[in-house]
Amino acid sequence: MENQFRQYPLEEDILGALDALGYTQPTEIQAAVIPSILNGRDIIAKSKTGSGKTAAFAIPICNFADWEQNTAQALVLEPTRELAFQVKDELYAIGRFKRLKVPVLYGGFPMEKQILTLKQKTHIVVGTPGRVLDHCKRGTLDLSKVRYVVIDEADLMLDMGFIKDVTRILDLMPKRRNLGLFSATISREVMDISWVYQRDPVEITVRADEENKPDITQYRLDV
Ligand code: AMP
């Protein structure tokens, strides 16, 4: 059976990576998000981990990333280092045939090493807000060519008090970028960000039933 992702105008390198990952059928959130980002729309998506939301934004972002361009073309903000690494892995797996470089910027890791990494090719930056802002202030991260920003787990960002850093980063960026907001709950505060930083966003809500989740068995080990 033909890979269902072929219905989208994606590059062969991306489709090949999806084949290799065994992704053959878009999940509900992917079916809504992929065309929206490909069409350059802002989105506000209510979705949980497990719905396939990472690939939903990673697929179109990896698709438009241009290997020839040296500076960041997309920025993904995550509330924790662990999430940042998970998202980097997904971006890396989907962008691997395009050889996309995806540095991760997070606090507690030597600044100098991150600066050295950023001096090399950088296509998509994933990071936690505080450290990303640090790099912006020092002039070691160039966000002037970013086309798409993702604020992932926006409600967690708010709960953890990172939202000021997030809005400072957005204020430092060119106005012509698109923004995707992903959140498990769409609170008043999340809507406030949308009102200020988005233009005519596509609103996406994914049903919370079992059916639209990818076929994954989850195990838990209490330690
Ligand atoms: P996420 O909600 O982004 O944390 O994704 C949950 C899991 O679903 C991850 O392990 C992905 O590798 C997997 N996944 C994402 N999209 C698909 C898909 N279309 N088909 C199968 N598995 C997928």
- Written as six digits, the tokens of 44 are 């506000």
Instruction: Please tell me the distance from the alpha carbon of residue 136 to that of residue 66, in angstroms, as a whole number.
Output: 22
The pTM of the full predicted model, rounded to 2 decimals, is: 0.92
Confidence band of 211 (pLDDT split at 50, 70, 90): very low
Mean pLDDT confidence for 207-213 = 57
Q: If you average pLDDT over residues 1-18, what whole number do you get? A: 96
Please say whether the beta carbons of 91 and 76 come within 8 A. Answer: yes
Q: In the predicted model, what is the mean pLDDT of residues 175-186?
A: 94
Q: Enter the DSSP assignment of 77.
A: E
Question: If you average pLDDT over every residue of the chain, what do you get?
Answer: 93
Give the start-end residues of each E strand in 107-186: 124-127, 148-151, 178-183
**Quick check: 48 pLDDT over 50?**
yes
Average pLDDT over every residue of 76-88: 97
* Residues within a 6 A CB radius of ligand 1: 23, 25-27, 30, 49-55, 214, 216
Q: 27 CA to middle of ligand 1, Å?
A: 8
pLDDT at residue 217 greater than cutoff 80? no
CA 8 from centroid of its chain's CA atoms: 19
Closest residue to atom 11 of ligand 1, CA basis: 52
Q: How confident is the model over 113-142, as a mean pLDDT?
A: 96
Cα separation, 41 vs 54, whole angstroms: 17
